[in-house]
Amino acid sequence: MRRSNDPTGRGGGGSDVHPSGRHQHRADQTSAAKRKHTFVDPLIAILVVTATLLLLLTIETPVAYALAVAGAFGLFLLHDWQYVGTVLGSAPFDETFVFTLTVIPTFIMIGVFAVHGGIASQVYKISNHLFRKVPGGLGAATVMACAGFAAVTGSSVATSATMARLSIGEMTRYGYPKSFSSGLVAISGTLGVMIPPSVILVFYSVMTGESTAAMLAAGVIPGLLSAIAYMTYVFFVAKRLNLGASNTGPPDAVAATAAGVRGASVRLSESGGSEADLVESLVAIDEKEIREAQAPTERLRDLPWRGLIKILIIAAIVFGGIYSGIFTATESGAIGAIAAFLMMLLEARSQGFGEIWKNVRSGLLETASTTSMIFSIIVGSSVLSAFLITSRAPNMLADYVSELDIPPYVILLIFLAILVPMGMGLESISILVIAMPLMYPVVMDLGYDGVWFGILVVKLIEVGLVSPPVGLSCYVVSGTAGVRVETVFKGVLPFLLVDVVIIAILFAFPEITLWLPNLIQH
């Protein structure tokens, strides 16, 4: 999609950041600083830094430290330790002193309080009732519940972990193969990075200067399209395997154990993820709540419609506020977090003060832990970005690409293809901080729309979330439901083919992605 004269998502629609991008100040500072003699040719330095970064990631160095060490080493190769010290003292502040970044903890807080407020079990029960008489209906209900829960959490880890506890045991009971049911939950959980409010979409907008509001709007239709595609495949498999409907008695067993939860945390830690502590509490749904979510309900009036109402209220606050112009994206995130907090308190009103305080404290700790992880990666990436700017790597890549005698869309396809193997070994935010400083300027020079490109990038990140060897969502489902991770990966492979078809559609028809942002802005 070539960029039009009135490009989508630039400088409007609720963005709190100037479209010139957050690296501009540091680039000016770098060009204005006194530079020592360059010790190493920039191209050689880029190759050495790339090798250093890959080595550090291979030996499971935390991503934030790997980025910082590789970037500092590259700056030393180009200049000296005094110059490195100058960058280390200024770049992290320049990167984090961005008001728009405050939207990240507020969006995380919305999801955390939604988890503790029981929205997932309520949405799952409604979806299960609506599809109870349809062959494959339980699988479709799982996808719908994941989409609804993702719409308020924006977290794939939260969605995968919670829905694994609620649904895999029930699907197994009705004859679904464990590989299929666990793969379905893993792939449906990835909707959390596409359906707003998505921290990844916000992070992309902050890194590139695209409008936060435009990015959030652009994720709606691709996210719903993905959910519909997964449901369609579920119905096809249900018909082929003769899977029945979910319309009889209560479940025989609860589908998760505390040992499984600990297993997810251990696997996440071993794979380099920083969300292990978050997983432990996100899936801490007691046995009673699981049984209530899985138990059938004969009358519509007995369904927990309050869960759906909560989703609509949060969506109205976040999206209605942004696109009506009443709130900025940052303000809507804060107000949405307050609403989610009040909903959690309302849900827990029958419990004692001690239990309520436990939920509040746990939610705040989870928000602080996840926010700290994200900001540490931002600080580490700032050092690597300083090296890339000093070495002129983006300019060199742009010059090289411009000299290639191939169509621009082929270059774009190459960039997108590179994201797949990156997703097999890195988590989502790390991919953005490593790839976007190099890819985004080239894509803009080629004349493509940054919002459309961002959705394609996030969709490829979804694929990475369920691709071996890391596949964080698969490890979360494995540990939570007590299923071998190899089984989860086996079940998710057919859904990856579905994702390939969706990506091809979004690539061939950019209007699908850009229709809603254009409609809102006009």
Contacts of 228 (CB under 8 A, 6+ apart): none
Closest CA to 114 of 317, 265, 404, 374: 317
Q: What is the pLDDT of residue 289?
A: 53
Contacts of 25 (CB under 8 A, 6+ apart): 94
Q: Residue 304, class by beta-carbon neighbours within 10 Å (0-12 exposed, 13-18 middle, 19+ buried)?
A: buried
Residue type, 465: L
Q: Is 423 part of a structural domain of the chain?
A: yes
Q: Is 110 part of a structural domain of the chain?
A: yes
Q: What is the pLDDT of residue 276?
A: 47
Q: Give the residue with greater pLDDT, 210 vs 271.
A: 210
* 3-state helix vs strand vs coil in the chain, percent to 5: 75, 0, 25
Domain span at residue 308 reads 101-369+391-522
Contacts of 390 (CB under 8 A, 6+ apart): 30, 74, 75, 78, 79
Q: Is 49 part of a structural domain of the chain?
A: no
Q: Is 347 part of a structural domain of the chain?
A: yes
The percent of residues in the chain predicted with pLDDT above 70, rounded, is 80
Contacts of 245 (CB under 8 A, 6+ apart): 131, 132, 133, 134, 135, 137, 138
Q: Is 96 part of a structural domain of the chain?
A: no
| Contact by Cβ (8 Å): 315, 308 | no
The Cβ of residue 239 has, within 10 Å, a number of other Cβ atoms equal to 11
Q: Is the pLDDT of residue 184 over 90?
A: yes
Closest CA to 205 of 189, 220, 226, 219: 219
| Contact by Cβ (8 Å): 57, 426 | yes
Cα–Cα distance between 68 and 88 in angstroms, integer?
Answer: 9
Q: What is the DSSP string of 82-136?
A: HHHHHHHHHHHHHHH--GGGGHHHHHHHHHHHHHHTTHHHHHHHHHHHHTTTSTT
Q: Is 21 part of a structural domain of the chain?
A: no
Q: Is the pLDDT of residue 284 over 50?
A: no
Contacts of 375 (CB under 8 A, 6+ apart): 96, 101
Residues 223-233: what's their mean pLDDT?
93
Q: Give the residue with greater pLDDT, 52 vs 427.
A: 52
Mapped to the 3 state alphabet, what secondary structure does 403-415 carry? Answer: HCCCCHHHHHHHH
Q: Give the residue with greater pLDDT, 118 vs 484.
A: 484
Residues 323-332: what's their mean pLDDT?
79
Q: Is the pLDDT of residue 368 over 50?
A: yes
Closest CA to 192 of 114, 137, 252: 114
Q: What is the pLDDT of residue 340?
A: 86
CA atoms within 13 A on the CB side of 290: 23
Contacts of 181 (CB under 8 A, 6+ apart): 139, 142, 167, 168, 171, 172, 491
The Cβ of residue 35 has, within 10 Å, a number of other Cβ atoms equal to 13
CB < 8 Å & 24+ apart, contacts of 360-363: 362/116, 362/281, 363/109, 363/112, 363/113, 363/116
Q: What is the pLDDT of residue 449?
A: 94
Mean pLDDT is lowest, of 93-97, 312-316, 467-471, for 467-471
Structure tokens at 397: 């890549």
Cα–Cα distance between 187 and 466 in angstroms, integer?
Answer: 7
Q: What is the pLDDT of residue 157?
A: 73
Q: What is the pLDDT of residue 448?
A: 93
Q: Is 81 part of a structural domain of the chain?
A: no
Bond from prior residue into 494 cis (ω within 30 degrees of 0): no
Q: What is the pLDDT of residue 245?
A: 54
Q: Give the residue with greater pLDDT, 37 vs 427.
A: 427
pTM of the prediction? 0.70
Cα–Cα distance between 279 and 506 in angstroms, integer?
Answer: 31
Structural domains counted in the chain: 1
- Residues 479, 155, 379: CA angle, nearest 5 degrees: 100
Rg (CA), the chain: 23
Provide the 3-class DSSP secondary structure of residue 198: coil
Q: Is the pLDDT of residue 473 over 90?
A: no
Task: Give the model confidence (pLDDT) of 238-276 as tens digits.
Answer: 888 877 555 443 333 333 333 444 444 444 444 444 444
Q: Is 4 part of a structural domain of the chain?
A: no
C-alpha of 117 from chain center: 21
Q: Is the pLDDT of residue 33 over 50?
A: no
